[in-house]
Structure 1
Amino acid sequence: MLLRLLPEDVNVNFMAGRKIAFAFSLLLVVGSIALFGSRGLNLGIDFLGGTMIEVKTEQGQGVEEFRAVMSDLGLGDVQIQEFGAADDLLIRIQRQPGDDVAQQAALATAKQAIDGMVVEYRRVEVVGPTVGSELQEAAIYAICFALGAILIYIWFRFEWQFSVCAIVALIHDVITTVGLFALLQLEFNLATVAAVLTIAGYSINDTVVVFDRVRENIRKYKTMPFAGLTNLAINQTLSRTLMTSVTTLVALVALSIFGGEVIRDFSIALIWGVVIGTYSSILVAVPMLLTLEPHRGEEAGSGDAEQTA
Structure 2
Amino acid sequence: MTENTQLKSKQYGRPDNERVIPFMKIALPAAVISILLTVASIFFIATKGLNLGLDFTGGVSAELNYSQPVKAADVSEALAKAGFKDSVVQTLGSNRDLMVRMPVQETAEAADLTKEITTAAQLPGNKAEVHKVDVVGGQVGNELYIRSGGAVALAMLLMLVYVTIRFEFKLALGAVLSLLHDVIVTVGVFAMMQWPFDLTVLAAILALLGFSLNDNIVVSDRIRENFRKIRGAEPLEIVNIALTETLRRTIHTSATLLLVVLAMMFLGGEGLHWFSVAMFIGVFVGTYSSIYIGTAFALWRGLNRQDFIVQVKPEFEEENEIPR
TM-score (norm 1): 0.81
Alignment of 1:287 onto 2:313: no
Deviation at 1:185, TM superposition (A): 2.8
Distance 1:239 1:271, change over 3 A: same
Please give the alpha-carbon distance, in whole angstroms, between the structure 1 residues aligned to 2:70 and 2:166.
Answer: 60
Structure 2 SS opposite 1:12: coil
CA deviation string 1:77-120 (max 9, x = no partner)? 5335686999998654212468x52x654454343334355643
Bigger mean CA deviation after superposition, 154-163 or 53-62: 53-62
Deviation at 1:294, TM superposition (A): 2.5
CA deviation string 1:39-94 (max 9, x = no partner)? 22221211111113465687898378436513xx3x6x533568699999865421
Deviation at 1:33, TM superposition (A): 1.3
TM-score (norm 2): 0.77
- Larger Rg belongs to: 2
Alignment of 1:66 onto 2:66: no
Matching residue of 2:136:
128
Runs of 5+ consecutive residues of structure 1 not aligned to the other structure? 1-7, 301-309
Matching residue of 1:78:
86
Bigger mean CA deviation after superposition, 127-136 or 141-150: 127-136
Runs of 5+ consecutive residues of structure 2 not aligned to the other structure? 1-16, 311-324
CA deviation string 1:97-154 (max 9, x = no partner)? 68x52x6544543433343556435775523224323322331222111111101001
Bigger mean CA deviation after superposition, 80-89 or 152-161: 80-89
Please give the alpha-carbon distance, in whole angstroms, between the structure 2 residues aligned to 1:58 and 1:86.
Answer: 6
Distance 1:68 1:236, change over 3 A: closer
Matching residue of 2:45:
36
Contact 1:61 1:87 (8 Å CA) reproduced: no
Distance 1:107 1:122, change over 3 A: closer
Please give the alpha-carbon distance, in whole angstroms, between the structure 1 residues aligned to 2:61 and 2:144.
Answer: 17
Please give the alpha-carbon distance, in whole angstroms, between the structure 2 residues aligned to 1:65 and 1:146.
Answer: 41
Query: In the TM superposition, what are the counterparts of 1:149-188 in structure 2 within 5 Å?
Result: 149-188=158-197
Matching residue of 1:3:
none
Alignment of 1:273 onto 2:282: yes
**Residue identity matched to 1:113:** A
Query: In the TM superposition, what are the counterparts of 1:135-284 in structure 2 within 5 Å?
Result: 135-284=144-293
Please give the alpha-carbon distance, in whole angstroms, between the structure 2 residues aligned to 1:145 and 1:132.
Answer: 20
Query: In the TM superposition, what are the counterparts of 1:36-55 in structure 2 within 5 Å?
Result: 36-53=45-62
Structure 2 SS opposite 1:51: strand
**Residue identity matched to 2:264:** L
Alignment of 1:109 onto 2:116: yes
Please give the alpha-carbon distance, in whole angstroms, between the structure 2 residues aligned to 1:248 and 1:59.
Answer: 30
- Tell me the percent identity: 33
Please give the alpha-carbon distance, in whole angstroms, between the structure 1 residues aligned to 2:272 and 2:227.
Answer: 43
Contact 2:117 2:130 (8 Å CA) reproduced: no
Aligned pair count?
287
Q: CA RMSD for the aligned pairs?
A: 3.1
